[in-house]
Amino acid sequence: MSSPLSSLYTELVIEHDKRPLHAGLREPFTSEVHHVNPTCGDEITLRLQLTDGRTRIEDVSYDAVGCAMSRASASIMADLLIGRTTAEVEPVQEHFEAAMRSRGRLAGDEELIGDGIALLGAAKFPARVKCVLMSWKAYQAALVEAQTLGA
Amino acid sequence: MSAPSREFDVEAIRADFPILTRMLDPDTPMIYLDGGATSQRPRQVIDAEVSYLYSDNAAVKRGAHRMAGLATDAYEGARERIAEFIGAPSPDEVVFTKNATEALNLVAHSLGSGDASTPPRLRVREGDEILVTEMEHHANLVPWQELARRTGATLRWIPVADDFTLDLTDLDSLVTERTKVIAFTHQSNVLGTLNPVGRLVEAARGVGALTVLDAAQSAPHMPFDVAELGVDLVALSGHKMLGPTGIGVLWGRYELLEQMPPFLTGGSMIELVDMERSTFAEPPARFEAGTPPISQAVGLAAACDYLDALGMEQIAAHEKALTQQALAGLAGIDGVRIIGPALSAERSGAVSFDVAGRHPHDVGQVLDSLGIEVRVGHHCAWPLHRRFGVHGTTRASFSVHTTAAEVDAFVDGVAHTIDFFGSLS
């Protein structure tokens, strides 16, 4: 096994892929989005439940079909988001996305992105960046939808 | 391991493909098993294109200078060569397009032009039916969906049976007096299945429907003759037959092309132009608006020379032996399910498979770490994957330069992939 491959399929990624956290679609939810990666056909349906005047993420539930990277990413992301405010999450999401798009130049701040650090191996595989970011894009879209609902 | 035929010298062929010496890591040679997506090009094809650009390049069919004449000769010479390669009775039946997708769109748009002066046989209208198959590449599905949407025609399809061949049980009720077009692939880019062209042509002729054949996957891999096939229109891809990207071919019977309205319009395709209206040139010029892919046509003609020199029968036999080897090898690996027919006369060298519990991206990633380049995903045939309950597949496709040792490495690689993920759980 060559080392780049083990930097991609880290123990944490495999663990999240096999036993994803917060998986499954739950109610109630403020918004729901469905995202597809048309090149590989991967899909995610993501529900976001906001409280406290739509500032606190009470729940993120999802149904994801995809590769190990995309499934692990959804699991890690949901775990990072739930229980925090959307404002707290914003720098997490920005830092994670920047690191993912850095082709490995940005090491990533574990304080900020927690288990998300385990996904950064994919940053060196340009074809896999989209796999990892699909759930994060879904969250962003769900957030926009939730915050503009009836606004 | 089955040896290729004596006269088919794979090592000599490999020496013609400069890219095959490339290393992916210092100790990882590149094993290219993705000719189904795009083929690698032999030096002869690259050189032909470069040589044209070095010595004869100019705009074709305009200008009176000598260079324009040289360029036009090269371009029209390429048309003649391709006509010969596919058994077309006349080079005027060969239309150059951007790719096979554009060739299919050309037909779909022309048939839906709404031009009242077009004979009814070449007009798709409300109430008409367009018949495709469930195994089509999106390129031979979406243009027909769109034609149906624009015209009010109905899209119907021949289902795929559990044995990965077309289910022709209900063909008699699927082909009706309303059927205007039957569009189908010659060889599935996913399954490798070769379709019964004669049977579908016969059904189409019975009701006066046109047949449109997507030959992007077949023509590079077996003897291919449009006259023998009996279809009306054929789409080909340059870059899947050892040729350049940016060029495809539409072949059509001249008596049909002659009556078909243009798709793209503009320069080079006109007869007379005034400020209010224009009349159009005869085929093939009518369907070649704008400056065409000239050096690409020259490269494609060189690809035809290259393929013919190897012999299409020999290429087919070589790839069949590799396919047999791959299918036998994969059959011995627990958890691998081939999405395609067992080896028979009706199959060729695209081998797609599912690895239980593993997403094809993950499978492809591990194979890539071994230098083995395969295609993963739905291969632009999403409905077909749904039909077989898989989200995507991993596909190896074999070419003239593929060796038995590479197929062994691929089969070992799939086994290694399963072990790799097994060791992580």
pLDDT, mean over chain B: 95
Contact by Cβ (8 Å): B278, B61: no
At A92-147, the pLDDT tens digits run: 999 999 999 999 999 999 999 999 999 999 999 988 999 999 999 999 999 999 99
CB atoms A41 and B378 under 8 Å: yes
- Pairing state of beta strands B154-158 and B278-280? unpaired
CB atoms within 10 A of CB B105: 23
Instruction: Report the candidate in A69, A67, A49, A72 with the shortest Cα–Cα distance to residue A139.
Output: A49
Chain centroid offset of residue B378 CA: 16
Q: Write down the ipTM of this complex.
A: 0.88
Q: Which of A1, A4, A18 sits opposite B425 (nearest CB)?
A: A18
Q: Which amino acid is at B67?
A: M
Instruction: Just list the catalytic residues of B.
Output: 380
B221-244 mean pLDDT: 98
| Alpha-carbon dihedral B82, B86, B91, B92, rounded to 10 degrees | -120
Angle between helices B360-369 and B404-424 (to 10 degrees): 120
- How many beta-carbon pairs under 8 angstroms link A with B? 51
The three state secondary structure string of B87-101 is CCCCHHHEEEECCHH
pLDDT of residue B4: 44
Per-residue tokens: A2? 């060559």
Which of B138, B142, B361 is the best residue to mutate to test the A interface, defined by the most A CB atoms within 10 Å of its own CB? B361
Interchain CB contact of A36 with B (< 8 Å): no
Report d(CA B422, CA B425) in Å as an integer.
6
pLDDT score for B348: 86
Which one-letter amino acid corresponds to residue B260? M
Domains along chain A? Answer: 4-149 (3.90.1010.10)
pLDDT digits (tens, 9 = 90+) for B308-325: 999 999 999 999 999 999
Strand B23-25 and strand B28-29: the pairing is antiparallel
Task: Express each pLDDT in B190-223 by its tens digit.
Answer: 999 999 999 999 999 999 999 999 999 999 999 9
State how far the Cα of B414 lies from the Cα of B353, in Å rounded to an integer.
10
Which of A8, A42, A65 comes nearest B365 by C-beta? A8
Question: Mapping DSSP to helix (H, G, I), strand (E, B) and coil, where does residue B156 land?
Answer: strand
